[in-house]
Structure 1
């Protein structure tokens, strides 16, 4: 698909336009955040897996989200950390295509899993009597599987359009990873149809997913407001709080990147604006779910207590 038209065999990642000493500081900061992100997500996954009381739809979806957040960070951050301290910041054409495909795929799957979590909360609060039937283990597995499959099908459609372009001239990517907008700008063609197409697909995925979640919460809010018991209302709100915060953070940062102007002058801004979306969001998600969820906090304390006691013995 790309063989006869591609002369570029590798790209140079320009990364951050900052002095070397600042790059060292960024390396330390991002490394600490990455380690905490991985530890936090692995802790949530191990807790949900080992504690049978958490084998319910809401926590299974949190497990799936933590898994996707870990993969999401793994695709971008290790390479970025190496480039921050390396003198040569190159990436092969094949690796760039793979990174772009995985980044777009996991990112799309993230949006769809968050959408499934909103649907789960809608069924739990608006249809509590039918909830066990509507949201059983088989349905959960199918929803998670469809989220991953659909996410990578979306990614395949976008990455295929980019990789079929001829790359025969400049090979310096103005970013710290193979961001689709920065890569498309290096193609040896004056036609911007591909950029418009992939931007449209990305914005449709984000907008449709966010609108679905907003619709579910409008229905949830209308149901909660009809509940007479104050305690029951507070409990219903608390089960949604962590998801609402994560959705707000995720879609705010994503919208800033993908709904902003795509003029050539904005590529430098894209590098800085991508930091919250690729590093801070995965870092905050496990913290939010742990701090805002009583059951997970109790389960985490149990795990830590068991490990401390076992070491003493």
Structure 2
């Protein structure tokens, strides 16, 4: 096992099973998982579980889901386009590996099913659902070994693939830097979606760099230009508009999210947000 992978596994395992998260029953406690919940009817649901009062009030069918019926199907998807090959403190891809490990160990600790996928312009890896620690180790190794350079993150393909593959209602974590044209509405109708945004402070608030040559890690194309105040102003506005659009979508579709920067501790940030 790679030394870097082993370090991530030992660190996150200690956090989840040790003092940091060990006193809590599960990282996944919270809305929809501690108590019974209502969700929109999905084709194939038992019609006897329809809540007719809520259905009449909202004008569309809802069913009751009870805690004792639930075995969480925790699915973590790592979106590893070329843009994750960046970081001033740590690589964004390294933080994604830590997030995968934290969520995986938390699922196994809670006796839930855990599976992991790697996606970019297409699906590259997909593990079978498991309750074994080995499945978490394998997921971290897969993230660390994956080469994102030259691959563009395609969220439309991601949504279509997950919609077709995930037959069972899942607690779905999508881990990405979330830049681009993104619409998770289709997934949020059936699954409990949680977006984990991994960013570097510098990419949100860069400084003037002068005239230089840059390389797009998704297309591998290089270009030259003057990174001056005017360029940065336009860039920051574009990223701000991207995020504002994303936050509005998340709120409208009931998608929870957390933003983790490369200088932060992923386990602590996730624990704080999911509690």
Between structure 1 and structure 2, the one with the greater Rg is 1
Q: TM-score, normalised by structure 1?
A: 0.29
Of Structure 1 and Structure 2, which has the larger fraction of its residues in helix?
A: 1
Work out which structure has the larger RCO, using CA pairs closer than 8 Å and 6 or more positions apart in sequence. Answer: 1
Of Structure 1 and Structure 2, which has the larger fraction of its residues in strand?
A: 2
Q: TM-score, normalised by structure 2?
A: 0.31
